[in-house]
């Protein structure tokens, strides 16, 4: 594969990688922090 073809493929893949990153990172943080958030909520607003 030539460097030009590789560069062309990368330029097409970068936007997809960027969108996947933008979509996945906040989702991962939400999944990770949801237990902490629920604990904080239970502590701040008992009942």
Task: Answer yes or no: is 32 within a domain.
Answer: yes
Task: Answer yes or no: is 35 within a domain.
Answer: yes
Position 38 scores a pLDDT of 85
d(CA 31, CA 33) in angstroms, rounded, equals: 6
Arithmetic mean of pLDDT, 13-17? 90
Task: Answer yes or no: is 8 within a domain.
Answer: no
Arithmetic mean of pLDDT, 13-37? 86
**Taking the complete model, does pTM exceed 0.75, yes or no?**
no
Q: How many domains does the chain contain in total?
A: 1
Q: Is the pLDDT of residue 25 over 80?
A: yes
d(CA 34, CA 19) in angstroms, rounded, equals: 23
CA distances from 16 to 11, 12, 36, 46 (A): 10, 8, 31, 43
Position 1 scores a pLDDT of 61
Question: What residue numbers bound the domain in which 29 lies?
Answer: 22-47
Position 45 scores a pLDDT of 80
Mean pLDDT of the chain: 85
């Amino acid at each position: 594969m030539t460097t030009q073809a590789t560069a062309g493929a990368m330029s097409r893949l970068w936007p997809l990688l960027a969108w996947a990153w933008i979509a996945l990172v906040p989702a991962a943080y939400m999944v990770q922090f949801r237990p902490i958030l629920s604990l904080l909520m239970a502590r701040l607003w008992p009942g």
